[in-house]
Amino acid sequence: MPFRELRADFLHNGFGVYILEFHDYSLLNDDNATRLLLLNEMPAKYELSLMIETEAVTDSSIDVLSQLQTVDYLYVEKSGLSSDGIMRLQSLLPDGTVAEYYRQSGCDNHALMTERANRRLVMVDQMRPPA
């Protein structure tokens, strides 16, 4: 996995839903954020969520984050982005990207994303023909 050396967590449910998480212990920062552009090589048919929870990613990374074409859901929980930076990023994101920021509301992103992935897993299971 290309993000292993950055100490990222990578989750998938086997049905095309992928989650890439950079927690506070990750090594992702403004100096290496351009590595995230590798995500643009992922086929658009997959659902990709990117969760950044490190204060080492600041407003200096906005230009890089705004170039992510295959990210469907972008979470910037506990990042170093300022409120103005978040507003700027939101205005620069590609159409169709859902940006969710829960810094003020205290929502648990990991629980939310896990619930979303599990819900999709259940939906896919329900669509399977009976054996």
Domain at 49, CATH number: 3.90.190
Domain extent, residue 66, equals: 4-127
Task: Output the pLDDT for position 111.
Answer: 54
Name the 3-class secondary structure at 90. helix
Q: What average pLDDT values come out for the chain (131 residues) when binned by 10 residues?
A: 86 87 96 96 92 95 95 88 89 80 49 48 39 45
Read off the tokens for 89. 């990023």
**DSSP per residue, 7-37:** T-EEEE-SSSEEEEEE-TTS---TTTGGGGG
Among 58, 68, 56, 59, which Cα is nearest to 28's? 56
Q: Distances from the Cα of 91 to the Cαs of 2, 101, 112, 116, in angstroms? A: 28, 14, 24, 25
Q: How many structural domains comprise the chain?
A: 1
Task: Output the pLDDT for position 14.
Answer: 79
Task: Output the pLDDT for position 124.
Answer: 37
Identity (one letter) of the amino acid at 43? P
